[in-house]
Amino acid sequence: MTTSATDETATGPRIDPRLLEVLVCPVSKSALVYDAGRQELLSRKAGLAFPIRNGVPLLTVEAARSLTDAEIGKL
């Protein structure tokens, strides 16, 4: 799935920073990186970006999109 950093995500409720500390990638169980602009949680190890909608992180493989090599390189 493609996610765009549109108005909808930019104005949606922000994710609670405390929540980020208690979430890991469901696939690799490694730490996630928060992309506030795109409202995504990025897993370098699994190469996946998990969307956040209305402040709710969607941490399933089905909801995720694959990260590009360039995106993984920046992590």
Partner 1 sequence: MIAVMSTPEPTAANPNTSFGFRTVTEDERQSLVNDVFSKVAERYDLMNDLMSGGLHRLWKSDFVAALNPPRADAAFRLLDVAGGTGDIAMRCLAAAGPNTSAVICDISPEMLEVGRRRVTDAGLADRITLVEGNAEELPFPDKSFDAYTISFGIRNVTHIDKALSEARRVLKTGGHFLCLEFSDVQVPILDRIYDFHSFEVIPRLGRLAAGDAQPYQYLVESIRKFPKQETFAAMIRAAGFSNVSYRNLTGGVAAIHSGWRI
- Of 29 and 74, which CB lies nearer to partner 1 in the complex structure? 29
Distances (CA, A) of 50 to 5, 39, 46: 13, 9, 11
> By CB under 8 A, is residue 22 in contact with partner 1?
yes
Please state, in angstroms and rounded to a whole number, the distance separating the CA atoms of residues 71 and 42: 9
> By CB under 8 A, is residue 25 in contact with partner 1?
yes
Q: Which of 12, 33, 58, 71 is close enough to bind partner 1 by CB under 8 A?
A: 58
* Structural contact between residues 41 and 30, judged by C-beta atoms closer than 8 angstroms: no
Per CB under 8 A, residues contacting partner 1 are 16, 19, 22-27, 29, 54-61, 63
